[in-house]
Amino acid sequence: MAIRLALESNLHLFFPDEDGVEMRPHVVTSNVEHPAVAECLKLLEMRREIEVTYVPVDSAGVVSSADVISAIRPGQTVLVTLMLANNESGALQPVAKVGARCRELQVLFHTDAAQAVGKVPVDLRGALGEADMVTIVGHKFGAPKGIAALYVRPGCLDECGRREPGLYWRSGSLLLGGGQEEGRRSGTPNVPHIVGLGRAAELLTADDKWRDNAAHMERMRNRLLIGLTKRLSDLGPDIVRPNGPTDPTERLPNTLSVGLKGVKSDELLSAIGLKVAASAGSACNSHMAGLAMSPVLSAMGVPTDYATGTLRLSVGPSTTDEEVEHAVQVIAEEARRQITSVS
């Protein structure tokens, strides 16, 4: 929806100008975005409806704000979309700097904050104050599955676009029908889920509860990494390799992407079954385990020995020390079995 709104705020770019020159709308993004963004852009690009610049991340999975800003084409770029936090590596992206510059250039800026809510600040009066559109997803912070929201800054579509008032929801809306959501997404609203989203947000923000949750999750995540490292240390000093930023202020507190050298993550997941909730790479792409290296790990340049053995583990506000120890034991035992059977 965010991508459609940006494009339809600049419909003049879909047609030749007075000199007959065609200039397709241009979008800037990173090369580690969630498929919800990446697959939409790829489809529009394949249809030759837009041009896209995919700005690469570094080895920690973080994109350079300067590189993103320099990729903007004045008069052609209609949207910069950059996730706040990566769903696999947990890396936090420099959305504040990018958003501020986009506001100066009057280019729409969208951030996918799905992974970030309840773990790091998602504040429109703070770090996200320059964002035009922000995506949040309910089940990431305690609401029912199947409900999400897109914040659209009032007036931004007029400020950053050239269109007739109201045209963006009459042309190419996400779902056509009865005209709900101001025509942007028709269909009867799911009121219980909407209420659940609001209530979950209230509980999360009351007395800054999310900060306590984040501190607890970071302790559990660190304990998980330390436990795996200790359990497998006798097999070699380089068996366990965490992926993503080493600086805790540059990553989510709950996410651990860890590569196990000499391990096949798909085999490991099959072996541990329902004993531990884990995935190979991102949980959203677990059906692809074993077929190919995760695009995120590939973009980060993670060595193949570790990428093929990477697990994506998450902890939550209710995760206990006992659960972490159980997970460490189950994962380490199967990893040890694979490593020693090869050697």
**CATH number for the domain harbouring residue 154:** 3.40.640.10
Q: Is the pLDDT of residue 215 over 70?
A: yes
Q: What is the mean pLDDT of residues 67-84?
A: 96
The percentage of residues in the chain with a pLDDT greater than 90, rounded to a whole number, is 75
170-180 pLDDT, tens digit each: 444 677 788 88
- 13 with 130, same domain? yes
Q: Is the pLDDT of residue 159 over 90?
A: no
Q: Is the pLDDT of residue 263 over 60?
A: yes
Q: Indicate whether 196 belongs to any domain.
A: no
CATH code at position 326: 3.90.1150.10
Q: Is the pLDDT of residue 22 over 80?
A: no
pLDDT at residue 282, rounded to an integer: 47
pLDDT at residue 169, rounded to an integer: 45
pLDDT at residue 11, rounded to an integer: 75
Q: What is the mean pLDDT of residues 188-203?
A: 96
Q: Indicate whether 93 belongs to any domain.
A: yes
Token pair, residue 225, equals 């990494």
40 included as an active-site residue? no
SS3 call for 342: helix
91-110 pLDDT, tens digit each: 999 999 999 999 999 999 99
Domain range enclosing 39: 2-140+148-189
More confident position, 156 or 30: 30
Q: What is the mean pLDDT of residues 316-326?
A: 97
Split at pLDDT 50, 70, 90, the class of 293 is confident
User: Which residue out of 102, 156, 160, 284 is catalytically annotated?
Assistant: 284
Q: Indicate whether 265 belongs to any domain.
A: yes
- 152 with 59, same domain? yes
> How far is the C-alpha of 79 from the C-alpha of 85, rounded, in Å?
18
Please tell me the least confidently modeled range out of 15-29, 47-61, 109-123, 303-317.
15-29
pLDDT at residue 281, rounded to an integer: 65
What's the CA angle centered on 118, arms 324 and 219, to 5 degrees? 30
Token pair, residue 176, equals 């056509």
Q: Indicate whether 199 belongs to any domain.
A: no
Q: Indicate whether 293 belongs to any domain.
A: yes
Are the beta carbons of 251 and 90 closer than 8 angstroms?
yes
Where b means 16+ CB within 10 Å and e means fewer, 249-284 reads: ebbbbbbbbbbbbbbbbbbbbebbeeebebbbbbee
- 87 with 181, same domain? yes
> How far is the C-alpha of 297 from the C-alpha of 275, rounded, in Å?
25
> How far is the C-alpha of 18 from the C-alpha of 74, rounded, in Å?
18
- 169 with 217, same domain? no
Q: Is the pLDDT of residue 232 over 90?
A: yes
Are the beta carbons of 246 and 60 closer than 8 angstroms?
yes
pLDDT at residue 170, rounded to an integer: 45
Q: Indicate whether 262 belongs to any domain.
A: yes
pLDDT at residue 183, rounded to an integer: 77
> How far is the C-alpha of 249 from the C-alpha of 304, rounded, in Å?
27
Token pair, residue 219, equals 């302790």
Split at pLDDT 50, 70, 90, the class of 163 is low
pLDDT at residue 284, rounded to an integer: 53
Q: Indicate whether 201 belongs to any domain.
A: no
pLDDT at residue 290, rounded to an integer: 44
> How far is the C-alpha of 145 from the C-alpha of 196, rounded, in Å?
10
Q: What is the DSSP string of 221-274?
A: HHHHHHHHHHHHGGG-TTSEEEES-SSGGGB-SSEEEEEETT--HHHHHHHHTT
pLDDT at residue 173, rounded to an integer: 66
- 305 with 182, same domain? no
- 171 with 215, same domain? no
How many separate domains does the chain show? 2
The pLDDT mean for the chain works out to 90
pLDDT at residue 162, rounded to an integer: 66
Does the pTM surpass 0.85? The reply is: yes
256: β partners: 313
> How far is the C-alpha of 239 from the C-alpha of 228, rounded, in Å?
10
Q: What is the mean pLDDT of residues 313-332?
A: 97
- 115 with 73, same domain? yes
> How far is the C-alpha of 337 from the C-alpha of 335, rounded, in Å?
5
Which amino acid is present at 188? T
